[in-house]
Amino acid sequence: MRFCIPVLMLTLFCLADSAVMFEFPDGRTVGMTSNGDISMAAESVSIVPAGGMFGGDDGGWGWLPLMEVRCVFELVNNTDEEQYITVGFPFDAKYGDSYSVMGDSMLIEMLASASPDENRPPWQDLNPSCGTDALEDLPEDLDFRTFINGDEIPVYYRRCASCLEEELVWLPVVAVWKMKFEPYETVILENTYNTSWDYLGTGSGSDLKVNYILTSGSTWSGPIGDAVITLEVPGELPMPVLSDSVSVYWDWTGGPAIDGRTITWHYTDLEPSENLSFSVITEVKCYDDDNLSAPSMFSALVWTEDELLVSTAEYLRGATTWRPHFDTVLLTRILEALPYALNNHTPPNALNPDYFCTAGFDHGLDLPAEHEAALEVVETVRAQVERDIALAEDAGYLEFLPLFSGKRYWNEQILNRYSAYPVKQSRFLDLLEHLEPACEGESIEDPAIRAFYGLTGWYFPGFSVWMQPIPADSVTRYRETQENTF
């Protein structure tokens, strides 16, 4: 079993380039290898809603959208000799798990710590079934099919070793078939199958993700001439938004073009060195476990213009179980409703009354003088928030607010997020350069950027927050590199 070479694969959501494979003589397993004779002139991948929901037919949750995947590869034999090779399509046979609350990174850490004995092989090498037939592992609705120049050919399936580098820890499988190339022949290879979304949910938040492994395409000779990967986000999944009840942001890598729900990555002369991902990240604000005590909240806040918002943010962090991220507009709306909830009145701003735990609400509007005075402070704060919105909108920053309000873990992969849109990319990098100092509570000189961060709900000058930002100098170096490139 030590000869089971890991095959580059996806985590949960099974998408990858076809790869040149080496099949061991005993037929037990396959491993990825390179081929200096056959190149991938082009690839076209479409991932679109299939209709229906995963799990609905077998009594499961039935709310993760099913997807149809179609991958077309143009392969060219660059030699004057006949080529006969084994080709494979790696994927994970376990996908669309609506019960998952543990991400792959966390699971890897757990597995690594569970067997610290130096004399024991690493966990990813302890796969006794590596190389055996994997037909019984395939989901019923997978329907994986392979076509060569339009003709369907037989496919067999092999289990293969888990891959630490790609965080492949669930149920790795590779579909395998044979291909023959005449001298200088161009062959059209097509793979089709069904799948669902990877799901990670904890408390009030959820992350639905698609990963596409490009690096497996590096097994072919030379760069990929032209590559287009298109994803259609299903209508069942929300668009980016900040509202009273929920916040949603989309996260991705690779600098795609985005048109509504259509995400398109396009590359030429691609030498793949990184993989692609797309996520829909949702957080429910008014969660069942987090009803607020209006009397406790009112007495805990500092009712001055300068300190009201920051004291509200601090109170909510301590008073909520899952600690959702409240943007400043929502903070202000909660404050507007608080004096009315304190008097068992329905808030006139139509905020969901479920934010507060009270016996019931009436439609009265009369408030004691103390609470009327508190509302006057809130109105002053709200006027400043509206000015900040106008400043951020005029500067073209406001569309980035759902991302900056909710995202906590940042890395340098996001630097080219808007590379398909130079003007938007410049504005995005403006904000990223100030992310690190904003997390440290430093004062921001630029009025529009200061107004934007003031809307996130977590930035208050003089108060640092826990976050993993991109270092400001990394953003500066990236911008300088881009300017030198052009």
CA separation, residue 443 to residues 78, 249, 446, 453 (Å): 60, 26, 9, 11
The enclosing H or E element of 481 equals: helix 472-485
Task: Give residue 111's pLDDT.
Answer: 57
User: In this structure, what are the phi and psi dihedrals at residue 9, rounded to the nearest 5 degrees?
Assistant: -145, 175
DSSP sequence for 76-111? EE-SSS-EEEEEEEEEES----TT--S-HHHHHHHH
Task: Give residue 222's pLDDT.
Answer: 74
Task: Give residue 225's pLDDT.
Answer: 85
Report helix angle 369-394 to 308-319, nearest 10: 100
The C-alpha angle with vertex 256 and arms to 9 and 252, in degrees rounded to 5, equals 60
**pLDDT tens track for 146-185:** 999 999 999 988 877 655 544 455 677 788 888 899 999 9
Task: Give residue 99's pLDDT.
Answer: 40
DSSP assigned state of 137: G
Task: Give residue 215's pLDDT.
Answer: 62
Q: So where are the chain's domains?
A: 19-284, 288-391, 395-485
Task: Give residue 117's pLDDT.
Answer: 52
DSSP assigned state of 326: -
Task: Give residue 133's pLDDT.
Answer: 80
Task: Give residue 458's pLDDT.
Answer: 97
Task: Give residue 315's pLDDT.
Answer: 95
Task: Give residue 282's pLDDT.
Answer: 95
Task: Judge contact between 238 and 66, C-beta under 8 A.
Answer: no
Task: Give residue 269's pLDDT.
Answer: 86
Q: What CATH number belongs to 19-284?
A: 2.60.40.3680
Pairing of strands 241-242, 276-284: unpaired
Longest Cα–Cα distance of the chain, Å, equals: 92
Q: Which residues of the chain have pLDDT under 70?
A: 1-36, 55-62, 93-131, 161-170, 213, 215-219, 272-273, 287-290, 359, 485-486
Task: Give residue 55's pLDDT.
Answer: 60
**pLDDT tens track for 29-40:** 444 445 568 888
Task: Give residue 130's pLDDT.
Answer: 54
